Structure 1
Amino acid sequence: MNLPPSSDASPSHTLQRPFRLDGRVALVTGAGRGLGFEMAKALAAAGARVVINGRHAGRLDAAAAALAAATGRAVATAPFDVADADAGRAAIAAIAGEHGRLDILVNNVGARDRRPLKDFTAGEMEALIAADLIGPMLLAREAAEHMAAHRHGRLITVTSIAAHIANRHDPVYTAAKAGLGGLMRALAVDYARAGITSNAIAPGMFATETNAGLVADAAFSAFVDTRVPVGRWGHPPEIGAAAVFLASDEASFVNGHVLIVDGGQSIRM
């Protein structure tokens, strides 16, 4: 792109009410539960008009009702599979059409399949990479087109500390998450002059529904206590503030960054 410097407003005008998202429209994928749900809740509490995504309409409806009860704000739903390019394009267009704009995209959906590389077929690799890397890439491209029209946007992608520190028998997921970090650095360069910032959040070990079995495992939780410097699992609501910060005007000069939220796990020897 060959555009003039961004017109993104200086954060000075918001200092009396920092980190507010009033008037902004946000789409959060994979928000029916877990970290996606918590980020959607935090964005709504900060004043954004939030649309949540997932593949299961019934789960999304229940999540939207819970979010509305928690924040006092109506939350809309957009059920579609992020790996379906046509469905994602249609959903982004529908959200922008209904609300007049799309300001924030939180690409949170992720799938995991822990197996040695030798146990994957080519098709299984492609399916996991489609969900974890290609889907977010396509949604970011579609969202950026609408954001550029208003000279303002926040592309936020959830990666993982697996992109920075690897575990055994987790190669495809690790590669896809590392790819997301590279993607956000590339988009940070490509879209900045259009008023769009591109950043990532890399969560560590959080006590979500998906990890319930591990949280209940005394031996594994003891490992968490010794491996994570703060000595515990992350609480799901602790991810919300990271999303609000990166979506806010106060983060207007943060671009191409990966914000690691892991209690210090990734920097411990």
Structure 2
Amino acid sequence: MSNFDLTGQTALVTGSSRGIGKALATALAQAGAKVAVHGRTVETVEKTATEIAEATGAETFAITFDVTSESEVSEGVKKLTDHWGTPDILVNNAGMQKRAKFSEFPLEDWQQLLEVNLTSAFLVSRAVAPGMEERGSGKIINIGSVQSQLARPSITPYSATKGGIVMLTKGLCADLSPLGIQVNAIAPGYFATELTQALVNDEEFSAWVASRTPAGRWGKVEDLGGAVVFLASEASDFITGQTLYVDGGMTSVI
């Protein structure tokens, strides 16, 4: 089990002040890592960092920067590097969703989804990679979605960005794995979070999720903990360029 121990490791999880990101940060902290909690508002990020530290006993660091801004990403990563050094683990979790009929989907919403869901992972990875390369090791974990492989009406741009995450992961694998850096992705299925609560409360939609998912239920954010710890640990040192679907079997059946 020592292969899964993250004691002495540092991690940056973008978009980790709530929901799936918070669960990922908590799981890494439980495995022994020091975790940088990231978000958009100082108060929320500091509150989450304190909660994780109190729940796990791990050291945490609250940090805020705009993941779509090249300059803010550079400044934020430098701030973290000055504090802990280059993180051993980067989890690109920041993301958003917008829904609309495709023929009426606003261009500005398409561009915002691209920036938040895909460009951010490129920018933060690019900012962290040189330090990982210099050290000769690192773990980058991108968060995709079941929509990385499957599409539904009204979320075409979202699906495109999450499909892009899979190919970004493979591209980073080609560039960075020879340098000792493993790059993988986690693609969650339908998870019950604050952001999906309206869908969870929709009886018809929840019934569809249960019927479409072999496991027969919505995912719980805790279901992602094992996957992120595995991909962040020595146990996955010969795994790179892969996407792990944590979806209750949804992508395996028709």
User: Residue 202 of structure 1 corresponds to which residue in structure 2?
Assistant: 187
1:153 matched to 2:138: yes
How far off its partner does 1:122 sit? 2.9
* TM-superposed deviation, 1:116: 2.6
Task: Give the unaligned 5+ runs of structure 2.
Answer: none
1:57 aligns with 2:56: no
> In the alignment, what sits opposite 2:174?
189
Partner in structure 1 of residue 162 of structure 2: 177
The AA in structure 1 aligned to 2:172 is L
Letter of the 2:144 counterpart: T
Name the TM-score, length of structure 1 as normaliser.
0.91
Aligned counterpart in structure 1 of residue 3 of structure 2, from 3, 14, 18: 18
Report the identity percentage: 37
Larger deviation: 218-227 or 201-210? 218-227
* Aligned counterparts of 1:17 and 1:136: Cα–Cα separation in 2: 29
- Corresponding residue for residue 88 of structure 2: 103
Match of 1:215 in 2: 200
Describe the SS at the equivalent of 2:59: coil
What residue identity is the alignment partner of 1:107?
A: N
Q: Residue 125 of structure 2 is aligned with which of 104, 126, 140?
A: 140
Amino acid in structure 1 at the alignment position of 2:22: F
5 Å-filtered alignment, 1:214-253, equals 214-253=199-238
Q: Shift in Å at residue 215 of structure 1?
A: 1.7
- 1:117 counterpart residue number: 102
Aligned partner of 1:48 in structure 2 is: 33
How many angstroms apart in 2 are the aligned matches of 1:201 and 1:252? 16
Instruction: Read off the aligned partner of 1:252 and give its amino acid letter.
Output: D
Deviation at 1:177, TM superposition (A): 0.7
Aligned residues: 254
Q: Report how far residue 84 of structure 1 moved.
A: 1.2
SS at the partner of 2:90?
strand
Unaligned runs of at least 5 residues, structure 1 = 1-15
Q: CA deviation at 1:268?
A: 1.6
User: What is the CA–CA distance in structure 2 between the aligned matches of 1:200 and 1:115, rounded to whole Å?
Assistant: 27
- Which 10-residue stretch deviates more, 151-160 or 118-127? 118-127
- How far apart are residue 130 of structure 1 and its match? 0.7
Distance 1:114 1:99 in 2: 39
Contact 2:98–2:109 (8 Å) recurs in 1? no
Residues of 2 paired with 1:227 and 1:264: CA distance? 9
Aligned to 2:246: 261
The one-letter code of the counterpart of 1:229 is P
Q: 1:228: Cα distance to partner?
A: 0.6
Which one-letter code corresponds to 1:29 in the other structure? Answer: T
Greater length-normalized contact order (CA 8 Å, ≥ 6 residues apart)? 1
TM-score (norm 2): 0.97
Q: Partner letter of residue 116 of structure 2?
A: A
Q: Deviations over 1:17-75 (max 9, x none)?
A: 23011111100011011110000001011111100111011111111111112101121
For residue 168 of structure 1, the aligned residue among 153, 158, 164 is 153
Residues 131-188 of structure 1: CA deviation (Å, up to 9, x unaligned) = 1111111111111111111101001000101010100111111111111110110110
Kept after mapping to 1: 8 A contact 2:86/2:128:
no
CA RMSD of aligned residues (A): 1.1
The 10-residue stretch of structure 1 (213-222 or 126-135) with the greater mean CA deviation from structure 2: 213-222
